[in-house]
Structure 1
Amino acid sequence: MKEIQLLHKGKVYHGRIGYDQSDMIEVQTVAPIDFTCGDKVLCFDFQRRQLTRVLHVSNNKVILAPKDSEIFDIGTRPEHGYDDCFGDEQVTIKSFKLNTFATLNDDFKITAVRISDISQMGIGIEVNDFSIKLNHVYDMKIFCDDECISPQVIVRYAHIMEKTIRYGAEMHKISTSDLNKLRYHIATQQFKQLMHA
């Protein structure tokens, strides 16, 4: 295992790299760490010096992503709205493919959905019927491995596909801890897709 140092709030932590790719680094530290999700950490050794942000922390293990990774744009309000994306000057936005199940809750009605992708603009949802209302706020439950997160989303558009209906929903409200769990879930799903490719 390759050795690496992590500089966080003026303190240097020594660790070993378990996984190292351009979009994610997993480091096992020697001493206990005092990191929180979203913290900026400088990773350095003899060959590199890279500013990263914390995606996930557990015991002496930390998962980091590059500071400017698109995964940190998820859950933030984009500078441009949906209308701006369909004009003459189209903006490129990175989308992460997912295959995660969720529910949309509206009063006492619960609809099971599949999340196909997620980006800064919002969440791509697939359903087999027209039961979802446009421009409506839904409470959502997303099943992320062993955890469940609960954002509020506003469904903005519908696109009829060959076998399903794809809805686009923007993230209306999400807690910081749920947002961190969602970002970590996205990163792990991208890693699993990479391993199976």
Structure 2
Amino acid sequence: MRDIQLLHKGKVYHGRIGYDQPDMMEVETLKPVEFARGDKVLCFDFQRRQPTKVLYASSTKLILATAESELFNIGKRPEKAYEDFMNDNMEPIKSFKLNTYATLNDDFKITAVRISNVSQIGIGLEVNDFSIKLNHVYDTKIFCDDECIMPKIIVRYAHILERTIRYGAEIHQISASDLNKFQYYVATQQFKQLMHA
């Protein structure tokens, strides 16, 4: 474990890195700390100086993501139109793989879907039929471990695969607390995938 120092609200805390990747790290502090999800923390040692944000905080354990991480672009409405992201000349957009479930609610009809990925421009949904309407706003319930979040999404395109249909949806509306929960959930899922790889 490598030592690191954390600067938060004018105080320096000492910790040890348990897990380190370009986008996120897990730090165990030597003494209990009171950080909150979303707090800005400057991490530094002899090799780097990196602004981060807190994704998870307990009394002695932190999961931090770099301030410029694509995680913090999830749910933000892109400056470009959704269609602009679909042309062939675009740079690749960072996508995070997920395997969770959600429901789409339209009037009194509820459709169960699997969420396969998430990125800055939206969410990838998979379902086995053509019941999802394009350019339609859906109330959604996404299951994030023990919690549920309820954004509104607009389904923008459909792609027929061998065994399923993949839909691309843009996040139309999401509360700040739900967005924070969702970003944390995506980060922990990436963390779990890397630990099992």
TM range (shorter): over 0.9
Structure 1 spans left out of the alignment, 5+ residues: none
Q: Which amino acid aligns with 2:105?
A: N
Q: CA deviation at 1:38?
A: 2.6
Aligned counterpart, 1:187: 187
**Other structure's SS at 1:185 match:** helix
**In 1, Cα distance between equivalents of 2:145 and 2:86:** 34
Q: CA deviation at 1:156?
A: 1.0
Q: CA deviation at 1:55?
A: 1.4
**In 1, Cα distance between equivalents of 2:131 and 2:31:** 52
Answer yes or no: is 1:157 the counterpart of 2:157.
Answer: yes
Aligned counterpart, 1:60: 60
**In 1, Cα distance between equivalents of 2:148 and 2:51:** 30
Please list, as runs of the form range in 1=range in 2, the aligned pairs for 1:66-105 lying within 5 A after superposition.
66-87=66-87, 89-105=89-105
**In 2, Cα distance between equivalents of 1:86 and 1:46:** 42
Q: CA deviation at 1:133?
A: 1.1
Q: CA deviation at 1:113?
A: 0.3
Q: CA deviation at 1:195?
A: 2.4
Q: CA deviation at 1:187?
A: 1.3
Aligned counterpart, 2:177: 177
Q: CA deviation at 1:159?
A: 1.2
8 Å Cα contact 2:34-2:59 kept in structure 1 = no
Q: Which amino acid aligns with 1:63?
A: I
Aligned counterpart, 2:13: 13
Deviates more, 1:80-89 or 1:182-191: 80-89
**In 2, Cα distance between equivalents of 1:47 and 1:82:** 39
Q: CA deviation at 1:184?
A: 1.4
Q: CA deviation at 1:80?
A: 1.1
**In 1, Cα distance between equivalents of 2:16 and 2:90:** 42
Q: CA deviation at 1:127?
A: 0.5
**In 2, Cα distance between equivalents of 1:160 and 1:108:** 26
Q: Which amino acid aligns with 2:66?
A: P
Q: Which amino acid aligns with 1:169?
A: A
**Other structure's SS at 2:22 match:** coil
**In 2, Cα distance between equivalents of 1:46 and 1:103:** 48
- Count of aligned pairs between the two proteins: 197
TM-score under structure 1 normalisation? 0.92
1:37-84 Cα deviation digits (max 9, x unpaired): 332211112332211111122233211011111111101111112221
**In 1, Cα distance between equivalents of 2:156 and 2:92:** 19
**Other structure's SS at 1:26 match:** strand
Aligned counterpart, 1:29: 29
Q: CA deviation at 1:189?
A: 1.3
Q: CA RMSD in A?
A: 1.6
**Other structure's SS at 1:186 match:** helix
Q: Which amino acid aligns with 1:45?
A: D
Structure 2 spans left out of the alignment, 5+ residues: none
**In 1, Cα distance between equivalents of 2:52 and 2:62:** 11
**In 2, Cα distance between equivalents of 1:106 and 1:188:** 30
**In 2, Cα distance between equivalents of 1:39 and 1:188:** 17
**Other structure's SS at 1:52 match:** strand
